[in-house]
Amino acid sequence: MEKREETCTELFQFGEESEFQSLMSVVPPPETGNSFTALLELPPNQAVMLLHSPEETAPDNFTSPEFLETPNSILPNSSPNNFSLVKQEPVDSDSVHNSSPNMSDPVISKSTKRKERGKNVKSAAKKSKSVANETDGDKLPYVHVRARRGQATDSHSIAERARREKINARMKLLQELVPGCSKITGTAMVLDEIINHVQSLQRQVESGSLMDGNGNFTGMVSPPLSNQIWQPDGLTPQPLWGVEEMNPNFITPENSLLSYDSSRSSVSLHTNQLKMEL
Amino acid sequence: MHTSSKLTKEFTKKWVKGLQICCSSKKDMDVLERKKKIKLCADIALASAKNATTSWSIALISEAKKNDENEILVDNLLGPESRFKQQKIIRQMNSCHKRVRSKKILKKSCSISQRMKKMGPPKSNLAAYIAKRLVKKRTQVLQRLVPGGESMDEFSLIKEALDYILSLRVQVDVMRNLANATEVLNQSNSSNVFD
């Protein structure tokens, strides 16, 4: 679980989204891909490994070395920009499929299209896709998606299918991130879990800020730590009782804010108020 | 997780800085106010630690800016290098409003038109229809939870939620660390006093 989370966050680490987009718009498109959808099913672990070993990829496509360079160059600067998850998936899976090196481009150009345009232009994009399917794919930055066997060849349904698969790929990543979600099947339940997780995290932040701010509260409400499956690093999830005023050597300016004036008599009243609020 | 450690450091730095600014302005607040200030500081610090790269952080910052008295805090936390980012934030704010409004209108008209032709689809594939309804409801809830979520389509919403979850975790970690540390220090302090 930890490792998977790690790989997830490693995924997040790379890439300025804007840089990717600018790169991707330059990319010439490739031929069709049956493996288009297979790309998206690539698990993040593999994707990260591929990202780490860019030398293995054949630079057939002249942009692929650029691709592979930018992740490495971005790496040291990635500190505040840890999360640019989505672009990673297509890029990483690109480097896998050297046999069809041009595969990278439809995914990327497609995701670029999706990001930069929006639902308004979607119909135009679909039309361009159906047109481009017939033309030679080398010059135009259009997506070439071939319908799989036994499925509708309508351009609309192809686009919908591609969109659905992208969403499913992201949902899989979410599933790995949120604890306890990997066993659940079905989007609705997973979303439920995610919502619960976000809510509990927000509640924890609330109570955490309360803990930080309070003083000699022995009757303090304990934060809802019991419902978390994810353990914070090296911390024991015990409620903190009786936090007195801070050590002046610790962080001096925070003294006035974080120390509680214990002479206040309305302590019990406040606890009730806080309980209501939480 | 080594990747989130950088975020942790950034967040901690900014949070401490924000707290310093906060407490230099006012003294003697009651617990609720203090808690609010702390949380606000933490939120802004978190959002600015992402350097306005993600949409939810931009939304957080823009919301905080709406309140005049937080403006100084926000500006200080964001830092002098983010002049350009501030423009970006303001622009995003405006575009978000328009997007939200137009989306609301779109949704209303869509729901009305759907209600017109609602009789057909449910009977053909009931299970899928129900599933879709459930998913839609949940995405709506998620939109409300994630800051700035109303103006996002489902696709980017999921990505933003991912980001948000990770950074919330960082926030909770740091806060707990601080609280634990103060507790330990106080205990040692009190034991020293008694010696």
Contact A170 B162 (CB under 8 A): yes
Residues of A in contact with B134 (CB under 8 A): 188
Is residue A212's pLDDT more than 50? Answer: yes
Q: Do B1 and A13 touch (CB under 8 A)?
A: no
In degrees, rounded to 5, the angle at the alpha carbon of residue B99 between the alpha carbons of residues A164 and A195 is: 50
According to DSSP, residue A251 is labeled -
Backbone angles phi, psi at B150, to 5 degrees: -70, -30
Most confident of A156-170, A256-270, B24-38, B65-79: A156-170
Query: A135: exposed, middle or buried (C-beta count within 10 Å: 0-12, 13-18, 19+)?
Result: exposed
Cβ contact B165–A214 (<8 Å): no
Higher pLDDT, B154 or A231: B154
B135: enclosing H helix or E strand: helix B126-145
CA distances (Å), origin A188, targets A194, A209, A259, B74, B152: 10, 32, 44, 37, 19
Structure tokens at B33: 């106010």
By C-alpha distance, which of A249, A255, A243, A206 is closest to B22? A255
Helix %, strand %, coil % of chain A (to 5): 60, 0, 40
Tokens of B160: 């933003």
Mutate to test the interface with A, among B143, B160, B175 (most CBs of A within 10 A): B175
pLDDT for residue A120 is more than 60: no
Chain A residue numbers with beta carbons less than 8 Å from the beta carbon of B19 are: 253-254, 257-258
pLDDT for residue B82: 57
**A44 contact residues in B (CB cutoff 8 A):** none
Burial of residue A99 (number of CB atoms within 10 Å: 0-12, 13-18, 19+): exposed
Nearest to A277 by CA among A202, A207, A224: A207
Please indicate whether, in this complex, the C-beta atoms of A247 and B37 are within 8 angstroms of each other: no
| Chain A residues inside the 8 Å CB shell of B159 | 85-86, 170
Residue A211: its chain B contacts at CB < 8 A? 175-176, 179
Query: Which of the residues A191, A255, A264, A278 would you substitute to probe the B interface, choosing the one with the greatest number of B C-beta atoms within 10 Å?
Result: A191
**Residue with the larger pLDDT of the pair A34 and A190:** A190
**A13: chain B residues, CB-CB within 8 Å:** 3
Cβ pair A256:B23 closer than 8 A: yes
Residues of B in contact with A187 (CB under 8 A): 131, 135
B59-102 confidence digits (pLDDT tens): 777 777 766 666 666 666 665 555 556 666 666 666 666 666 77
ipTM: 0.78
**pTM of the entire predicted model:** 0.52
CA distance B110 to chain A (A): 14
CB contact under 8 A, B162 and A235: no
Among the partner residues B50, B131, B146, nearest to A188 by beta-carbon distance:
B131
What is the reported pLDDT for A231? 45
Cβ–Cβ below 8 Å for B4 and A82: yes
Q: In this complex, do B173 and A235 lie within 8 Å of one another by their Cβ atoms?
A: yes
Q: pLDDT tens digits, residue range B146-170? A: 887 777 777 888 888 888 888 888 8
What would the two tokens of residue B70 be? Answer: 């937080």
Q: How far apart are the first and last CA of chain A?
A: 30
At residue B124, does pLDDT exceed 80?
no
From B43, B56, B63, select the one nearest B162 (Cα to Cα): B56
Q: Output the six-digit token pair for A85.
A: 């998850």
Looking at per-residue pLDDT, the higher value among B39 and A269 belongs to B39
Residues 6+ apart with CB under 8 A from A234: none
Size of interface A-B (CB pairs under 8 A): 209
Cα gap A266→A269, rounded to integer Å = 5
Q: Which of A19, A85, A87, A210 to mutate to test the interface with B (most CBs of B within 10 A)?
A: A210
pLDDT at B110: 81
Distances (CA, A) of A28 to A31, A35, A64, A104, A141: 10, 18, 11, 10, 6
- Listing DSSP states for B69-114 in one string gives GGHHHHHHHH-GGGHHHHHHHHHHHHHHHHHHHHHHHHHHHHHHHH
- Partners of A10 on chain B (C-beta within 8 Å) are 3
